Amino acid sequence: MNRFESAAVHVAGLRMAYGEHTVLDGIDFDVAPGEVVALLGPNGAGKTTTVEIVEGFRHRDAGDVTVLGTDPEHGDDAWRARIGVVLQSWRDHRRWRVRELLGQLADTYRPYATDRSARPRDVDDLLARVGLTDAADQRMSTLSGGQRRRLDVAVGLVGRPDLLVLDEPTAGLDPAARREFHELVHEVVDRDGTVVLLTTHDLTEAETVADRILLLAGGRIVAAGSPAAVAREVAGPSEVRWSADGARHVHSTHDPVAFTRQLLATVRVDDLEVVRASLEDAYLDIVRRHEAAAADRDLEVTR
């Protein structure tokens, strides 16, 4: 079996435009079994568009997409039952009570249980896991924003999916709930081997939760790899500042350790400071550069 046949998600040459506005300008990525992959990018980068195409909710203009062995545009109910979806927001069913809604959804997954995957998940167990036991009998309209988000995640998990797609899952959660959510993702991956594709514009979240980051900007994936590898790729230079003989100096370098070692070996330094580039700043910088390049490309096309 080659790499693409074994990938849970395979995307190649994906293109999408809304009218004149090109959002995805040829993106390629795979998500392997057992992986948590974060699609990271600023507002409007095309993250939701990408996951909606993966989920089969949106037609693409061009490119190959295979999800759990099937083109999402041709996925049947059995295929859909293997995918858990957490949308950015949905506001239906406000009059339903929490346990009632999950119970109804759980029933729709029952026909799709397999020897390998006991579907659905036990609803009370799931409510406990997402911290909603006490709210189980509340109507959805009375939930707080954070409780609502936890319910969204429970909805995505109730069918014990092989692939869980989360669109900005922690938007609106406080730091404690955010951490609990990250733990939940790790647990689901470790226990059930669920593959997770999530979107976020929060670099720290991507680093915390993902095995691999895909940085989307200007319609393209501009950096990809482990959080550490992407951090290296996007990290800017550090500044070494020192004073010697009453004069102040500053030098910008990608290897502050080597520079400092050489400096101390050759100069009598009175004072020394190394200021590392903030990863967040570097991330914003790379995004700005790629968005500017994309705007230039758009301009070329309209000329």
Using CB under 6 A, list all residues that contact ligand ATP.
Answer: 18, 23, 41, 43-49, 201
Q: How far is the CB of 168 from ligand ATP (least distance, A)?
A: 6
Q: How far is the CB of 111 from ligand ATP (least distance, A)?
A: 32
Q: How far is the CB of 163 from ligand ATP (least distance, A)?
A: 19
Q: How far is the CB of 217 from ligand ATP (least distance, A)?
A: 10
Q: Which is nearer to ligand ATP, 273 or 280 (CB)?
A: 280
Record the tokens describing residue 205, joined without a space.
């979240």
Q: Which is nearer to ligand ATP, 22 or 260 (CB)?
A: 22
Q: Which is nearer to ligand ATP, 89 or 104 (CB)?
A: 89
Record the tokens describing residue 60, joined without a space.
């693409």
Q: Which is nearer to ligand ATP, 48 or 147 (CB)?
A: 48
Q: Cα separation of 195 and 232, whole Å?
A: 25
Q: How far is the CB of 16 from ligand ATP (least distance, A)?
A: 8
Q: Which is nearer to ligand ATP, 141 or 204 (CB)?
A: 204
